[in-house]
Structure 1
């Protein structure tokens, strides 16, 4: 998982055209490719999770409609005790407007190895993303953090 951020960035570059900016659809497809790749993680069940969330937030100082595509890895110490999480984020930000404001806020988790179907989760998330798929985000931020 040490190179997870680089893997996500590489997938995003695959979706970027040489002549245009990344669309929401291209970012989502890049994230799903990234999400399908498995990494060496702590023992299951909650060691490798996917989070999809959106809403209007002012994280950058001004209100923006933000879609956050996140992968979370649990990190344990040498004895196997939880130490912290590493989250790899792809945040897509859009100028606010009535159509996006009407979406409100939403979040959904998926955990690999938890007897759930990833493809069903991806399909449900994509239905939520439908109003944004052909839009180009105003800003994209790809980063990693410890939580």
Structure 2
């Protein structure tokens, strides 16, 4: 029985959330991306009945993945995928990657990561509030990223 959206449509749903509510031509800032990600995070998906099958990751740091070093805020939703026997097979991660030119204020943040799992008994709003109450949010919240990339990958 399907209880939510299909995982194979998650990338498009996240991209849609990032564009919803913005005026044509308006640039996305960190706060807007975070609100869009949280709307996406609240959407139910058809996930296996397995521990940690639907998780969220908030992580940042300076990296040089495919070019010069950039400060990257990566908002990720991870889905567990099971094989035909119901055993864990792999994960699919859907990323909203916000990239910023490095600078002293961003470099001072270092790196950080925090997970949330929908089946943990914790509350999404409490997790989100704790992240935006971190001192790093005072630096990140009002920034406009130099680039935004939405993509899905199998891990």
TM-score (norm 2): 0.91
Q: Where do residues 1-147 of structure 1 align in structure 2 (5 Å cutoff)?
A: 1-128=7-134, 129-147=137-155
Paired residue secondary structure (1:74): strand
Please list the CA deviations of residues 92-113 of structure 1 after superposition, one character each: whole Å capped at 9, or x if unmatched: 0000000001111000000001
Stretch of structure 1 that moved more, 129-138 or 61-70: 129-138
Q: 5+ unaligned residues in a row in structure 1: which ranges? A: none
Aligned length: 147
CA distance in 2, matches of 1:69, 1:17: 23
Please list the CA deviations of residues 67-112 of structure 1 after superposition, one character each: whole Å capped at 9, or x if unmatched: 0000000000111111100000000000000000111100000000
TM-score (norm 1): 0.96
Q: Post-superposition shift, 1:60?
A: 2.3
Deviating 4+ runs (over 3 angstroms): none
Q: Post-superposition shift, 1:15?
A: 4.5
Q: Post-superposition shift, 1:19?
A: 3.3
Stretch of structure 1 that moved more, 34-43 or 129-138: 129-138
